[in-house]
């Protein structure tokens, strides 16, 4: 009888618990080591909480923009949104945290049901085939044939801007707020900063977004970022571009953000969104032969292997597209690979991602930057949302659908959707990219009329009728 493979997974986020499920289903003897609660930051402090908060913000955005749809407030119809609807942030945050705990509990129940042994404690490697766990009752040593490290990452802190959990906050600490900030300064204009700035402004706070770059969302599609900046400006959310924070201080109920050029910005609260650092220090990784990069992230290949035989890595601690979906896939791939299943290496060109602002920004495949730089030959169509019948009915005018295809074959290789619920609308484009569908095939599929997805088919039709001899782009 073949020996059962002993799998030890350190970290219970999406990369860890998804790997544990696959490993057990494939016959491995799986032990999952975790110290913060299953689901990790994705469930407890990041994705689930932030998107729950944003869900409330989306409702408020809809309410505030409902006058165009003919809705009036008050018995006379002359009342304002502000006088009729307000946000109870304490209640919102209670719901946020309850949902996060419930989701973590559901994951724990599922993992235990699949015969995964759960050890609560902090694990470290003692060589490439052993994990030592510090538990409340002492140390426990776990021998392993395979180790997966999926320990995630934590918010980066600036030396001169130490969070206090009350007025100077990281994104893991905002759910303790009992009242809406009067004036929130968000430092950092990447995905996290833009999402929280958009959400808190929709909830009714005055928001200032401090960006060290020329624009918000510097790594996203430039056309999409411009739409968001235009929306921010129209709604009164202040963006301070090319402004780098040097320090953040607190004086009672006021915080002051000092910029490197000497200017100062004051507010009631400050949210620091300046990136993440991997949870890899003090884990014995390098001593076990695991190579880390300069930022402390674990170097892995496309099947999640590290430089140490039998040791794999998954999730944010690897720095590979820090998304919960990617972490989960890395964990699954690691188990498929080590337990002898057929495996397709991770292909980042098929990963779809979303920025949960208002409007949302969803992307998949090649980017406009790659096309403009000549790295990928492609033609593109950008179809503004304002021409879509369903968008008009819903009062949505900000956004577009953009598709990229190969010049010679018409194969769809990327896309961008900027609209409400773009996170749902990107899926058909992601399917087209993953399955190498042509614009002929996409444009020949039926869509509901009226629907936003109709713009995806229309963009494909525009590409289908264009000359494909010279790469370029078209905005209609």
Mean pLDDT of 153-174: 96
Confirm if 438 and 411 have CB atoms less than 8 A apart. Answer: yes
Mean pLDDT of 325-330: 98
Confirm if 317 and 153 have CB atoms less than 8 A apart. Answer: yes
pLDDT at 469 over 50: no
Tokens of 167: 């007025």
The owner of tokens 């730089």 is: 373
Res 1: pLDDT: 37
Res 470: pLDDT: 45
pTM of structure:
0.94
Distances, alpha carbon 265 to alpha carbons 162, 191, 356, in Å: 17, 22, 26
Alpha helix segments (H runs only) across 339-421: 368-372, 389-394
pLDDT at 78 over 80: no
Res 77: pLDDT: 66
Q: Is 140 left (phi over 0), alpha (psi -120 to 50) or beta?
A: beta
3-state DSSP call for residue 174? helix
Tokens of 462: 């525009």
Q: Please state at what angle helix 14-25 crosses helix 324-338, rounded to 10 degrees.
A: 30
How many beta carbons lie within 10 A of that of residue 8, not counting itself?
27
Confirm if 296 and 281 have CB atoms less than 8 A apart. Answer: yes
Mean pLDDT of 425-436: 98
The length of the chain, given as a count of residues: 476
| pLDDT level of residue 370 (50, 70, 90 thresholds) | very high
d(CA 364, CA 430): 6
Tokens of 341: 């299943």
Average pLDDT, the chain: 94
> Where in 260-399 does DSSP place strands (E)?
264-267, 269-272, 276-278, 311-313, 352-355, 360-365, 379-384
List b or e across 127-160, with b for residues whose CB sees 16 or more CB atoms inside 10 angstroms: ebbbbbbeeeeeeeebebbbbbbbbbbebeeeee
pLDDT at 285 over 50: yes
Question: What residues pair up with 182 in beta bridges, in sequence order?
Answer: none
| pLDDT level of residue 84 (50, 70, 90 thresholds) | confident
Dihedral pair phi/psi, residue 399, rounded to 5°: 140, 180
3-state DSSP call for residue 248? strand
| pLDDT level of residue 67 (50, 70, 90 thresholds) | confident
Of 51, 257, 74, 66, nearest in space to 161 by CA: 257
Res 326: pLDDT: 98
d(CA 230, CA 221): 14
| pLDDT level of residue 476 (50, 70, 90 thresholds) | low
d(CA 87, CA 93): 11
pLDDT at 468 over 50: no
d(CA 329, CA 225): 28
The owner of tokens 């900000």 is: 398
| pLDDT level of residue 72 (50, 70, 90 thresholds) | confident
Residues in contact with 267: Cβ distance below 8 Å, sequence separation at least 6, in sequence order: 181, 182, 183, 184, 185, 206, 208, 254, 255, 257
Res 152: pLDDT: 97
Confirm if 210 and 265 have CB atoms less than 8 A apart. Answer: yes
Distances, alpha carbon 192 to alpha carbons 155, 235, 315, in Å: 11, 19, 17
d(CA 425, CA 103): 25
Confirm if 268 and 255 have CB atoms less than 8 A apart. Answer: yes
Residues in contact with 109: Cβ distance below 8 Å, sequence separation at least 6, in sequence order: none
Confirm if 367 and 375 have CB atoms less than 8 A apart. Answer: no
d(CA 201, CA 60): 10
| pLDDT level of residue 471 (50, 70, 90 thresholds) | very low
How many beta carbons lie within 10 A of that of residue 362, not counting itself?
26
Percent of the chain at pLDDT > 90 equals 91
Tokens of 122: 């902090």
Tokens of 355: 């920025």
| pLDDT level of residue 475 (50, 70, 90 thresholds) | low
Res 3: pLDDT: 63
Mean pLDDT of 313-340: 97
């Amino acid at each position: 009888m073949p020996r059962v493979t002993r799998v030890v997974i350190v970290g219970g986020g999406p990369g860890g618990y998804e790997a544990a499920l696959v490993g057990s289903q494939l016959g491995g003897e799986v032990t999952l080591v975790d110290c913060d609660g299953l689901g990790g930051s994705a469930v407890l402090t990041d994705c689930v909480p932030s998107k729950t908060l944003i869900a409330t913000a989306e409702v408020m955005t809809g309410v505030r923009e409902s006058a165009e749809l003919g809705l009036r407030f008050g018995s006379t119809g002359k009342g304002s949104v502000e006088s009729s609807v307000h946000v109870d942030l304490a209640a919102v945050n209670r719901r946020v945290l309850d949902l996060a705990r419930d989701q973590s509990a559901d994951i724990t129940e599922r993992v235990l049901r699949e015969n995964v042994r759960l050890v609560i404690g902090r694990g470290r490697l003692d060589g490439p085939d052993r994990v030592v766990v510090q538990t409340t009752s002492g140390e426990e040593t776990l021998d392993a044939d395979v180790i997966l490290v999926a320990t995630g990452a934590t918010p980066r802190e600036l030396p001169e801007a130490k969070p206090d959990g009350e007025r100077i906050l990281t994104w893991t600490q905002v759910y303790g707020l009992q009242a809406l900030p009067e004036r929130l300064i968000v430092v950092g204009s990447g995905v996290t900063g833009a999402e929280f700035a958009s959400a808190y402004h929709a909830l009714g706070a005055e928001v200032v977004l401090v960006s060290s770059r020329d624009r918000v969302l510097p790594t996203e599609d430039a056309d999409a970022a411009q739409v968001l900046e235009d929306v921010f400006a129209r709604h009164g959310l202040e963006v301070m571009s090319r402004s780098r924070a040097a320090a953040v201080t607190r004086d009672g109920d006021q915080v002051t953000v000092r910029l490197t050029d000497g200017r100062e910005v004051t507010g009631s609260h400050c949210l620091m969104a300046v990136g993440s650092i991997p949870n890899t220090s003090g884990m014995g990784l390098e001593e076990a032969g695991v190579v880390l990069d300069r930022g402390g992230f674990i170097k892995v290949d496309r099947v999640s292997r590290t430089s140490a035989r039998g040791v794999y890595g998954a999730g944010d601690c690897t720095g590979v597209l820090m998304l919960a979906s990617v972490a989960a896939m890395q964990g699954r791939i690691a188990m498929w690979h080590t337990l002898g299943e057929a495996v397709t290496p991770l292909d980042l060109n098929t990963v779809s991602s979303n920025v949960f602002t208002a409007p949302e920004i969803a992307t998949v495949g090649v980017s406009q930057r790659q096309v403009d730089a000549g790295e990928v030959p492609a033609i593109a169509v950008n179809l503004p949302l304002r021409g879509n019948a369903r968008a008009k009915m819903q009062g949505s005018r900000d956004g577009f659908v953009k598709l990229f295809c190969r010049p010679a074959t018409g194969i769809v290789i990327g896309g961008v959707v900027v609209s409400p619920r773009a996170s749902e609308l990107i899926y058909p484009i992601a399917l087209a990219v993953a399955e190498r569908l042509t614009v002929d095939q996409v444009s020949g599929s039926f869509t509901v009329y009226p629907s936003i997805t109709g713009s995806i088919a229309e963009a494909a039709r525009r590409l289908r009728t264009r000359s494909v001899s010279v790469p370029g782009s078209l905005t209609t």
